[in-house]
A and B are shown apart, each in its own frame.
Chain A
């Protein structure tokens, strides 16, 4: 088990390093340098020089990358050129909101998607199955920001049953909860569809296996068969995919935060993009990428561990 984990971890670190390098060197593919870009077209040469020195751009490129790499490992993502605050601090302030949104979104996906898939498999080829099949495909196809916009339109602007803006009062859990409902639903809907289809396919495959026939021959109740025997196995491929789900949902979270004017990484990055504030953008992208890779890694390891056959061979 440990060898497997270490290998995967090592691979993940390599990939993240390459990604970091790409983010870093992208700056040099662009005409001009980050200082000029940040300051805009009205900058004077003196301002540019000062900013360049501040950003460490006067040093040779490989040294810059090396410094950058070392800094990142120590948790230092640079400094925001405008506010002079540490990028790490800025990003970490916004991250919890986004994580919360993503997790609740994933929660929706699991709570709705898994039972839907399970039920579709049990009631195969009935109207229920066919309708839920169409709904699943549709949920996957429709972009999450459209769902967000329409939820906003219908539930917040017209029906006025749910709040439209922000994350709610600090400390007031119910308020925060109601503010979470629409945006998390918007980003989770796509994965409801995806999980429903995956669980259905998995369950159908498992239900056709011989050990299910054996369980029936022993008179085990249908309930036991579905939950203990079938679902337990059918769930395994789903767990591995949840890691990818987080990455997917993070992208959706960016839009949801902007549409619902919630604080979070999405809003942070959007504002930074508008002001060409690359250090903040790079810091946020790096953090979300690392999160994505980490989640995928954890999900893979969890999936491997849950299956005793794989667990033994590791």
Chain B
């Protein structure tokens, strides 16, 4: 049919190849959700970075006289059960969330990269072993796994970070492994090795450029997941230790006092929602522009 012919003429790959970076920026600007996501992420990151400058009070400053107050000009989001300013705590909570996310994802990416290359390049038994362990880790519902570790080690922010890292490594390792495997038998690599070039460095040079893009996109799409896990576990009281503020712990307080005031729950929940939405919208827009093949759905 002629319509299909004209569709074929306009195939997406053609357009993208002619585009270049500026073209991609232009396309990004036309995606309203992506722009919204970028705006949200910018606001959240700036708020977290400048938390100490913006916040009117110290996050742990207690003033029991004004506990559970509703929002006012003095306290933009009200106060919690110890009279602490919730707005301040929300800002500092953002710091915690983003710190955990950036730390965990970078470490996880690094280890996943190394593990994936090892599994792909190394002998069969190593590959099988790594895959088996990865699949076993992925077979745990994440929260359950976290709870098991916390039982043994005790609750703390570091424990949470460790759990998140362990739980997210398999995902990255898989991608790197697949790419490494396909490159292992690539003729170019074989030629290089015949010349006597060492295995791993050669592989690293060729594998890295191919996987960096997808890995970064997946990493950025994992930010909401990591933030959620940290907030969830802090909500259960198993994450940050008081008085450190985390959005999850604010929600915990809010839950305990839900019949007294809704503001704690709102204050803890809204930033979480905005963060997860913002990073998700941004991540999806970026993925659609850079490599739609990553779309699992």
Contacts and interface: CB of A to CB of B under 8 A. Distances in A.
A and B in contact, CB less than 8 Å: yes
A142 B277 contact: yes
B91 interface: no
Interface stretch (A45-53, A76-84, A86-94, A253-261): A253-261
B262 interface: yes
A292 B262 contact: no
A145 B252 CA distance: 11
Interface in A161-186: none
A134 to B, nearest CB: 7
Contacts of B232: 143, 145, 255
A281 B139 contact: no
A269 B233 CA distance: 13
Contacts of B151: 37, 272-273, 276-278, 281
Interface residues of A, number: 54
Contact of A153 (B150, B258, B280, B281): B258
B10 interface: no
Nearest to B272: A146
A198 B297 contact: yes
Interface string A270-314: 101100111001101100110011000000000000000000000
A194 B295 CA distance: 12
B280 A137 contact: yes
B124 interface: no
Contact of A288 (B141, B235, B259): B141
B280 A149 contact: no
Contacts of A277: 151
Interface in A126-153: 134, 137-138, 140-143, 145-146, 149-150, 152-153
Contacts of B28: none
A282 B140 CA distance: 12
A152 B272 CA distance: 17
Interface string B20-47: 0000000000000100000000000000
Interface string B253-279: 011001100100110010011001101
Interface string A13-31: 0111011001100110110
A275 B269 CA distance: 28
Given A194-B297, A254-B144, A259-B255, A273 B132 contact: no
A146 B280 contact: no
A125 interface: no
Given A18-B132, A143-B231, A285 B281 contact: no
Given A149-B269, A255-B232, A289 B33 contact: no
7 contacts: A141-B276, A142-B277, A143-B228, A149-B255, A152-B258, A258-B236, A289-B141
Interface of B: 33, 132-133, 135-137, 139-145, 147-153, 224, 228, 231-232, 235-236, 238, 251, 254-255, 258-259, 262, 265-266, 269, 272-273, 276-277, 279-281, 284, 295, 297
Interface of A: 14-16, 18-19, 22-23, 26-27, 29-30, 37, 134, 137-138, 140-143, 145-146, 149-150, 152-153, 157-158, 194, 197-198, 201, 247-248, 250-251, 254-255, 258-259, 269-270, 272-273, 276-278, 281-282, 284-285, 288-289, 292-293
Given A141-B276, A281-B147, 19 more contacts: A15-B136, A15-B139, A16-B139, A18-B133, A19-B139, A29-B152, A30-B153, A137-B33, A141-B277, A146-B251, A150-B265, A150-B269, A152-B258, A194-B297, A258-B236, A277-B151, A285-B148, A289-B140, A293-B139
